Structure 1
Amino acid sequence: MSYIIGVVLFALGICVSVALHEAGHMVTAKAFGMKVRRYFVGFGPTVFSWRRGETEYGLKWIPLGGFCDIAGMTALDEVTPDEAPRAMWRFKTWKRTVVMSAGSVTHFILGFVVLYLMAVTMGLPNLTPAPAVLSATSCAQSITTEAQAKEQAKNPTCAPGALTPAKTAGLQPGDKVLSVGGKPIASWDEMLTTVQATSGPTAFEVQRGEQRLTLTVDVPKVQRWTGEGVKEVGMIGASPQDAAKTIQYGPVAAVGATFGFTGTMFAETAQRLVEFPQRIPAVVTAIFGGERDPNTPVSVVGASRLGGEAVEHGIWILFFFLLASLNFFIGVFNLLPLLPLDGGHIAVVWYERVRDWIRAKRGKAAGGPVDYTRLSGITMVLVLIGGAVTLLTVTADIVNPIRIGQ
């Protein structure tokens, strides 16, 4: 039952986000004096509607998104004589840009608000790399199969006679590794990478309380299972000190922390978009029985399923983090300069502006509005591609979904 509640809550959060996206268009359009004919939440048959002033508001039966009907969004749209003076395409470029980008800005604001509320209540995920501090020493032994790796993770015991390089060299729990073989170390991951590329007697500089010591560790090479197969790596037999998974902030400090975290999420979102095309083949593979890569794209269905699992496991921080992430992704994606996205309309508007500026410099009159019918072929291709990608991700999220802990 908790899983179903989580799915419903996440889907509801998405619907509210999209409804507010359209509300962003409506509010800014009205503020500039454009005529907004209709604002509806959902699609399909109308459940109910009412008119206030010149705008009809209402709810549709299918609660997936919504729409805001602004008169004269392009010069090709039909408008009545009384609407013509307030048609959107007649307004200045910067005003039209504000209106068309307002939906994405709304997503960014929603994502920021969710993260801020997380910061002052449950805390934000700690993105600081774990320090190179030992919590315990163990052994260095070969693990050559995936089954052995899973068993070792559940029961980290050492085989009889296994090597204990870190313990033998005198490393102790609480020691902070400062350098390995003369290379400065800033985090546990950095130390791990350095050690794996090392073998034989190696100098470890460590901080132990007020002391700074140099210990020599004889690093052996062992066979270790990775997701890509078995590799020979250096290993010293040590585990890291657990770092705080989340950091909670006060109301004032949370503002700066949220801005910083938001910047990180924007960078990750941009990276995901760049990698998006190359991850599609992995989605197809997952549909036909291959292992689902957790880094492959997910649809609204997949995101809702993950939200449901987060609630089922009581991981509310993951639930809200997913909701914020999805808002940032939708906001950035919608600004891509591709029709029929808002970013595509913005690109056309600024093309007209730059073109007319160049024509004015050459002593020519301004050109007419862009003929969107000439772009219909490209738009149709993009719509078909978008529909195909959506179908693939939805199918994968049904037959081979990404799960928490995968």
Structure 2
Amino acid sequence: MTELLLYALGIVLFALGLLVSIAWHELGHLSTAKLFGIRVPQYMVGFGPTIWSRKRGETEYGIKAIPAGGYIRMIGMFPPGEDGKIEARSTSPWRSMIEDAREASYEELKPGDETRLFYTRKPWKRVIVMFAGPFMNLVLAVVLFFGSMMTLGIEGQTTQVAGVQKCVIEQDEKRDKCAAGDPVSPAFKAGLKDGDRIVAFNGTPVNDWDTLSDRIRDTIGPATVTVERAGQRIDLHPTLVPNKVLAKDEDGKVVQPAKYVAAGYLGFASKTEVAPLTFGETTDRMGDLLENGVHSVIALPGKIPGLWDATFGDGERADDSPVGVVGAARITGELMNVEAPPTTILVMFMNLLVGFNVSLFLFNMLPLLPLDGGHIAGALWESVRRHTARIFKRPDPGPFDVAKLMPAAYVVAGVFVCFTLLVLAADLVNPVRIT
């Protein structure tokens, strides 16, 4: 019963975090739109039926039933047609799409709104309004990440011994018990004990696990390991042997998918502890997070076949498989039942929200309609056209009609909907699990 309650609590907390992230995103659009005098009739968090709303001034604020997004309505998102009219009908389905979008952006036009239309603002102002939403997600991700890393910290390996391996076992064998014929491990033979803290390797001080691990890997043969034991420093003299161990990249992280290389081997497990990171360490990790996010977005199309096979075939769901809102909620529910210190669980939950907000930022910056990046690209293109015309003393080409791209926007939206449904099916049928 307790596990079920904790699972439900995790889902509720994720839903709240999701709503806050969406509301924060739309607040970026709303605040900058109002700053530049654009009329905003609606600010909504969620889609579907409205479950609560209040009108304050000229804007209706509300929450809708499905917490899968949000929006603000701005008057005059698109310029009038070539004939100067807001409405222009045609038998062409593509033309109808364009004019339907144009008409929707003028639905709540009132007397005096002629000077408060979105498209009449200078391109740089429109860029700010559309960029403000994704930027707010980036700001929230940075605040959450720096707050959790520099106050609560993260679990990491130390130079203290948590256990000594009695024999040498190649890591790719994936077993933890010694078998007949396995050679004795250098650490066990040299007398390394649980609780020892390694403070130097071959006479050079070591203060962190990464440094110690690199020096062990680079050494095959006799070595001197200095440990602190019961307040005294003791020199041990193991002879390190080659062993097959997990490969690391240039940043010291284990390569994924797992690869194995021959390296020096001592034979002990290091103790892990939770410790706050410095500002510099947190900055480096935030940079890695953003870089990995960009790579994930680029690699997304290539993961679709594996996702399909994991959903409708007999394929395994990869750990780095795309996860939707339902999958993330399930992970959060499982997280609440993990046997770990509360601070570790809190940090993992915060990191889930950080990852979600980074994804919102990166996806919305794609230069495709109907995403924010598509409107940004349209405003920038208009600025280039107008500046070019001014330089060559040509007539002002006027505002760029983003509405003409609506057929392509419908295609993009259709692709996103299909992808979202595939991820939803995968999250229900073959979810990613952390336990």
Question: Normalised by the shorter chain, which TM-score bucket?
Answer: 0.7 to 0.9
SS of the equivalent of 2:300 reads helix
Moved more, 212-221 or 315-324: 212-221
Q: Rate the CA distance shift 1:205–1:354 in 2: closer, same or farther, 3 A.
A: farther
Deviation of residue 11 (structure 1)?
1.6
Provide runs of 4+ in structure 1 moved above 6 Å. 143-146, 184-187, 189-198, 209-214, 226-232
The match for 2:46 is 42
The match for 1:159 is 179
Deviation of residue 190 (structure 1)?
7.8
Deviation of residue 303 (structure 1)?
0.7
Deviation of residue 246 (structure 1)?
3.9
- Letter in structure 2 aligned against 1:67: Y
Deviation of residue 142 (structure 1)?
4.6
Q: What pairs with 1:44-193 in structure 2 (closer than 5 Å)?
A: 44-76=48-80, 77-78=102-103, 79=106, 80=109, 82-119=112-149, 123-125=152-154, 130=157, 135-142=162-169, 149=175, 152=176, 157-167=177-187, 170=190, 172=192, 173-175=196-198, 178=201
For structure 1, the residue ranges without an aligned partner over 5 or more in a row are: none
Q: Whole-Å Cα distance in 2 between the matches of residues 61 and 232 of structure 1? A: 52
The match for 1:3 is 7
Q: Rate the CA distance shift 1:275–1:295 in 2: closer, same or farther, 3 A.
A: same
The match for 2:305 is 281
- Letter in structure 2 aligned against 1:329: S
Q: Rate the CA distance shift 1:325–1:168 in 2: closer, same or farther, 3 A.
A: closer
Conserved in 1, the CA contact under 8 Å of 2:10 and 2:334? yes
For structure 2, the residue ranges without an aligned partner over 5 or more in a row are: 81-101, 247-254
RMSD of aligned Cα (Å): 3.8
Deviation of residue 244 (structure 1)?
2.6
Q: Whole-Å Cα distance in 2 between the matches of residues 399 and 325 of structure 1? A: 23
Moved more, 108-117 or 356-365: 108-117
Q: Deviations over 1:106-134 (max 9, x none)?
A: 2123223333543575x1325xx746665
Q: How many residues align?
A: 385
Deviation of residue 14 (structure 1)?
0.5
The match for 1:217 is 239
The match for 1:271 is 295
The match for 1:202 is 221
SS of the equivalent of 2:350 reads helix
Q: Whole-Å Cα distance in 2 between the matches of residues 362 and 15 of structure 1? A: 49
Q: Whole-Å Cα distance in 1 between the matches of residues 262 and 427 of structure 2? A: 36
Q: Rate the CA distance shift 1:145–1:267 in 2: closer, same or farther, 3 A.
A: closer
The match for 2:251 is none
Q: Rate the CA distance shift 1:337–1:165 in 2: closer, same or farther, 3 A.
A: same
Q: Whole-Å Cα distance in 2 between the matches of residues 379 and 352 of structure 1? A: 18
Q: Whole-Å Cα distance in 1 between the matches of residues 418 and 332 of structure 2? A: 24
Q: Rate the CA distance shift 1:190–1:381 in 2: closer, same or farther, 3 A.
A: farther
Conserved in 2, the CA contact under 8 Å of 1:38 and 1:55? yes
The match for 2:416 is 386
SS of the equivalent of 1:324 reads helix
Q: TM-score, normalised by structure 1?
A: 0.79
- Letter in structure 1 aligned against 2:314: G
Q: TM-score, normalised by structure 2?
A: 0.75
- Letter in structure 2 aligned against 1:239: F
Conserved in 1, the CA contact under 8 Å of 2:200 and 2:227? no
Aligned-residue sequence identity (percent) comes to 32
Residue 259 of structure 2 is aligned to residue 239 of structure 1 = no
- Letter in structure 2 aligned against 1:241: S
Q: Whole-Å Cα distance in 1 between the matches of residues 327 and 128 of structure 2? A: 32
